């Protein structure tokens, strides 16, 4: 694997919460999960930043 490739943040807990609409394991939306393979590194980094913000908001 290329060391420059942004890897999926999936942790194997694949459950989309009805109340918030994102995965309770990686905090990505279903559209972000579905589109991951087609994304470039810049877009993947943006998704990870959004997911991190969702996690922080949920846990605060």
- Rg over CA atoms, the chain: 12
- Helix ranges, the chain (H): 30-35, 41-59
Tokens standing for 15? 């459950």
> Residue 3: pLDDT above 80?
no
pLDDT (average), residues 8-23 = 92
pLDDT (average), residues 25-51 = 97
pLDDT (average), residues 23-40 = 96
């Amino acid at each position: 694997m290329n060391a420059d490739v942004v890897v999926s943040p999936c942790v194997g807990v694949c459950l989309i919460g009805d109340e918030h609409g994102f995965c309770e394991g990686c905090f990505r939306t279903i559209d972000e999960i579905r589109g991951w393979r087609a994304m470039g590194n810049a877009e993947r980094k943006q998704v990870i930043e959004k997911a991190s913000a969702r996690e922080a908001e949920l846990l605060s």
